[in-house]
Structure 1
Amino acid sequence: MRPLCFFLIFGIGFLPGIWPAPALGAQERVTPAVPFGGIYAIPEATVRPDPELDYRLVIDVFTGAEEPDSLGGGLYHVSRLLNLFAVAGVPADRVQVVLAIHGAATYGVLTTEAYRERFGVDNPNLPLLRALQQAGVRLTVCGQSLIGRDLAAEAVSPEVEIATSMLTTVAMYQMRGYGVFRF
């Protein structure tokens, strides 16, 4: 009976799967390309972006913020994408990104004044938009989404270009060889 009790008390702890595996390189988030969208470096990764390739992406950004005082989810994921390429050693000049912003994400491109008038708070996305632009991202917003939401062209932040539509922007860049993401 004693050996069985000993095994039950001490031996079970050595069985695989009983204790959680140690975290994969537990660490702090880093933001090497854009000061938003922190990510984790995964030095153990065997599937990594190739720093010799050119990455050309048009991103259909439709996810807006859950609350007016928080960042838009789609824009946040774009910052994460840039940081992931950077932490993998892909040079910034090998990553070309165009955003086709529309739908609920449209509100994230409003000027401070227009955003405050509509939501009662300053637009928290403006610093992120500026950081994305400084990182070389081309920012476009769907003109159809602006009109559909009764937003004037003057309400759009100067970092953002107005496009005919998200649909034509994505189609145009896809025909130029850009891969399509959707956030």
Structure 2
Amino acid sequence: MKIQLSLARVLSCMALVAMSLPAQAAEPAAAAARTSPTTTWVYPLIPKFGGVHPRPDADAQPDPAADYKILVDVISTGADKGKPYASLERLARLVNLLAYSGVPPERMHIVAVLDQRAGAAGLTDAASRKYLKQGNPNLEILHALKKAGVKLLVCGQALAEHGVQDNELDPAVTVTLSALTAPVVYEQQGYHYMQL
């Protein structure tokens, strides 16, 4: 009796496995259909920086008819001192993502506050050599961001604290009263806060 019952269980399990085989065989095909497209990078508004991997099939696509008011608090620098800050690359990617989605530049209202250690990105090359003992690798990306319509601010309080003069700043950046008050002022104007 026990042997017959065990044999019945084995046969029952085998039947279940056999029924699931077609479904399991279909899973790799379904997974292959879900794989992302070949990795390519495009630069719709800012050339060379902030590349975008096209995903027209992805969820939460920006609406090209909407206005985007974004205040970006740029605080991080990067590990490689000879390259542009990773946070500025991400800022360029934000601009390029909106552009890739069809948002025209006149609907992008992006203000970036160079805050904390990232404030050094706003120095001229000569000032960077004076204070940091190397040229400023961020100038090219800053100029590209400004050309794309991004307003670049640097904290006036941090400048005073570090003894940096306004004439030691690149013309791409504008001095704001403080990185503490700029978000408050812009949020009152309907800007959404983002930190990089």
What is the RMSD of the two structures over their aligned residues, measured on CA atoms?
A: 2.4
Instruction: Find 1:24's aligned residue among 36, 39, 51.
Output: 36
Within 2, Cα distance between the matches of 1:48 and 1:14?
33
Within 2, Cα distance between the matches of 1:65 and 1:80?
16
Within 2, Cα distance between the matches of 1:71 and 1:43?
29
Deviation above 6 Å: which 4+ runs of structure 1? none
CA 1:91–1:48: 2 relative to 1, 3 Å: same
Pairing 1:28-177 to 2, within 5 Å after superposition: 28-35=40-47, 36-177=49-190
Q: After the TM superposition, which of the residue ranges 62-71 and 79-88 deviates more from structure 2?
A: 62-71
- SS at 1:166 equivalent: coil
Q: Which has the larger helix fraction?
A: 2
- SS at 2:62 equivalent: coil
If you compute each CA radius of gyration, which structure gives the higher value, 1 or 2? Answer: 2
Within 1, Cα distance between the matches of 2:179 and 2:130?
25
Equivalent residues of 1:64, 1:107 under 8 A apart? no
> Unaligned stretches of 5+ in structure 1?
1-10
- SS at 1:81 equivalent: helix
Equivalent residues of 1:59, 1:97 under 8 A apart? yes
Which letter does structure 1 place at the counterpart of 2:68?
Y
Which letter does structure 1 place at the counterpart of 2:39?
Q
Measured against aligned partners, the alpha-carbon deviations of 1:105-146 in whole angstroms (never above 9, x if no partner) come to: 011111010112233332111011111111111111001122
Within 2, Cα distance between the matches of 1:143 and 1:73?
23
> Unaligned stretches of 5+ in structure 2?
1-21
Within 2, Cα distance between the matches of 1:149 and 1:37?
30
Q: After the TM superposition, which of the residue ranges 26-35 and 133-142 deviates more from structure 2?
A: 26-35
User: 1:7 is matched with which residue?
Assistant: none
Equivalent residues of 1:60, 1:99 under 8 A apart? yes
- SS at 1:30 equivalent: coil
Q: What TM-score comes out, normalization by structure 1 length?
A: 0.85
- SS at 1:42 equivalent: coil
